[in-house]
Chain A
Amino acid sequence: MTPDTPMSADSSMSADSSTVWIWGLRRQPAVLVLLAAGLAAVVAAALTYGAVPLSLSHLFDAGADLERAVLFGIRAPRVVLAGLVGTALAVSGACLQGMFRNPLADPGLIGVSSGAAVGAIAMIVLGSALGLASWATPFALPLAAVVGAVLVTILLYGFANRYGHFSVVTILLVGIALNALAGVCIGVFQYVSDDGQLRSLVFWMMGSFGRATWLITIPVALLIAAAYFVLRRQARPLDLLQLGEPQAFHLGVDVKRVQKRVIFCSATAVGAGVAASGIVGFVGLVVPHVARLLVGSGHSCLMSAAALLGAGLTILADLFARTVMAPAELPVSLVTSALGAPFFLWLIARVRPQ
């Protein structure tokens, strides 16, 4: 499949961004309000349910120290982090799919997730040799992951921009090559790791929001919010890009600048998310498709829908992961992938015949 293939029945409709609004005007705000209500319900459920039984009415009783510690110190930062990572993945996925005009684009494709993974795994395996001060240890792994994501993005950008060809095809191909390279690095680290490190990194690769603390969640929130803010401003240019790059250029879109911003902002958001929680599969690929089914492919509305849906589904998957086997818990990526992959198949079966 070449990147120039139109995305689907929906995306070909968006050839002119104004057509999206034909079946939208009344429907889109309604869908967004419903999604927001759904997200609120999911957040409430995720804060209420968990391994430790909580009763909101007795939360501020004298003897409820443990309950308060669990709710404010463990559950709340975890729910917030899950929501942020879901948002980051879904919105990045939506923008990348729009930019590549390819339904298979997701944050994993341009190598950002694997770059972050290489950084984090290097820290798991080699970190003890660095002799870090104890106050630095909680930040070392997320920081290494962000550095990995940024390095891959710079490499991607450097290669794709060489000789002045900053084309979508080059980005895709370079992304695939960087992914393979990251795979090699991960393999090497797995080989040199000891038994314990191997287990740690396998679990890290399967994703978990269980390490969430406010200390980690707040910096991640700032990075993701900044990236989201910039991505929102690319909505209109991304709509015009659906016409094709030359057409968008003639309509006054600085195509290269939009592409750079989408790539760097996606890398920031996804890198920060992966850093805090490991790899969370399929959210970045599937959620934008669902959002597009619900609100069409105008990017402004699509980003809002993807953000709400991504946050809600990821929080829900995490709620399932941490309650189904309590007091043990499942890696969250098992849940998101188990839900996402079959759903994606269903989506293909549904859309293709038309």
Chain B
Amino acid sequence: MRGALALAAMLAGGGFACEPAADASRIAVAGGSLTEILYFLGAQDHIVGVESTANYPPEAVRHPSMGYVRALSAEGLLSLSPSLVLGEDDMGPPEVLAQIRRAGVDVVRIEAMQSAQGILAKVRCVAAVLGLQEAAEALIAARLAPQAAALAALAASASPSRPRVALLLGTSDGAPLVAGQGTSGDGLLRMIQAENVFGNVVGWKPMSAEAMAVVDPDFVLMAARGSAELEAAQSAALSPALRLTTAARAGRIAALDGMALLGFGPRTLSTALEIARTLQEPWPE
């Protein structure tokens, strides 16, 4: 019974925190954007393991891989002898996190916030956990704040008719998954002041060629994983799913690295700014 209560207390304590960790010397990072943030803060020497979505910066893949972020292994993680496990709210399964806490290792969740200010807040939160606030403020002021400000300025000057954009996941074969309400893709589209043409859909959903033609987005963004998918996405305009859209006819399809686009780490700010600028350019009709 005591065990049950202890476990319950640990699971209940799984909220988000930006408190300094007791010992942040050896960090197992469960989240691609968090890995990116550790490199951004110059704390990469403390990383002892990453998971499979950590692809940036390229040297991050040299750390031991803990597998997929939702299917972590308690013993595997402990074998890296971390002093701190840092993850986002998708880290799991919860039973494994409870096992890791019981072995005396700190597990800290960082809240994922899908907006420009959210990215800054996430960087500040990680910095607070590591005790690097001052260095972080300098880095944010130099590199992230100007981008966030530029995004805000673009939003203020945007024309009232927002560009109609579809954000797709996956490659050109078969029915692509579209980003609906509540997805990270929807968060990105709000960040760049675009209208999500699939805003009435909930979650990531497969969409037929006909539905795509009816909705007819002016611009299509594709999140790809790895260079092979990026290349495949280049020919997406010819795919049956997209061929009939205005975006395909005008060649307004862009494929971007999935983590840069939807990871909501520091990179997502620059990616969003770049897309927002492209969308603001006058289109040749």
Contacts and interface: CB of A to CB of B under 8 A. Distances in A.
Interface in B141-183: 182-183
B80 A138 contact: no
Interface stretch (A12-20, A169-177, A211-219, A286-294): A211-219
Most chain B CB inside 10 Å of its own CB: which residue of A66, A70, A74, A192: A74
B88 to A, nearest CB: 10
Contacts of B90: 196
Interface string A302-341: 0000000000000000000010011111010000000000
A65 interface: yes
B67 interface: yes
B93 A138 contact: no
A327 B66 contact: yes
Interface residues of B, number: 41
Given A66-B81, A194-B182, A322 B93 contact: no
Interface string A47-58: 000111100000
Interface in B7-43: 7-8, 11-12
B99 A73 contact: yes
A195 B203 contact: yes
Contact of A51 (B71, B75, B102, B204): B75
B253 interface: no
Nearest to B3: A215
A213 B99 CA distance: 8
A299 interface: no
A203 B70 contact: yes
B64 A210 contact: no
B95 A69 contact: no
Nearest to A51: B79
B68 interface: yes
Contact of A75 (B3, B5, B12, B75): B75
B12 A134 contact: yes
A135 interface: yes
Nearest to A198: B204
A152 B81 CA distance: 44
Given A73-B102, A200-B93, A210 B204 contact: no
Nearest to A136: B8
B239 interface: no
Given A66-B78, A210-B96, A73 B73 contact: no
Nearest to B82: A327
B245 interface: no
B98 A199 contact: no
A247 interface: no
Contacts, number: 119
B76 interface: yes
Given A325-B67, A327-B79, A137 B11 contact: yes
Interface string B184-226: 0000000000000000000111000000000000000000000
A326 B76 contact: yes
A49 to B, nearest CB: 10
A214 B1 CA distance: 12
A208 interface: yes
Contacts of A234: none
B265 interface: no
Tell me what chain A mostly uses at the interface: helix, strand, loop, or mixed. Answer: helix
Contact of A327 (B4, B5, B49, B104): B49
Contact of A70 (B3, B52, B75, B80): B75
Contacts of B240: none
B77 A327 contact: yes
B92 interface: yes
A8 interface: no
A203 B92 CA distance: 11
A277 to B, nearest CB: 11
A102 interface: no
Contacts of A215: 3-4, 7
B103 interface: yes
Contacts of A328: 52, 65-68, 73, 76
B73 A327 contact: yes
Contacts of A138: 7-8, 11, 94-95, 98
Given A70-B103, A134-B12, A200-B70, A329 B76 contact: yes
Interface of A: 50-53, 65-66, 69-70, 73-75, 134-135, 137-138, 191-196, 198-200, 203, 208, 210-216, 322, 325-329, 331
Interface of B: 3-5, 7-8, 11-12, 49, 52, 64-68, 70-71, 73-81, 90, 92-96, 98-99, 102-104, 182-183, 203-205
Top 6 closest pairs, chain A to chain B, by CB = A328-B67, A327-B76, A135-B8, A51-B79, A134-B12, A211-B95
21 contacts: A50-B75, A50-B79, A70-B75, A74-B74, A74-B78, A135-B8, A135-B11, A137-B11, A138-B11, A191-B205, A194-B182, A195-B204, A210-B71, A210-B93, A211-B95, A213-B95, A213-B98, A215-B3, A325-B67, A326-B73, A328-B73
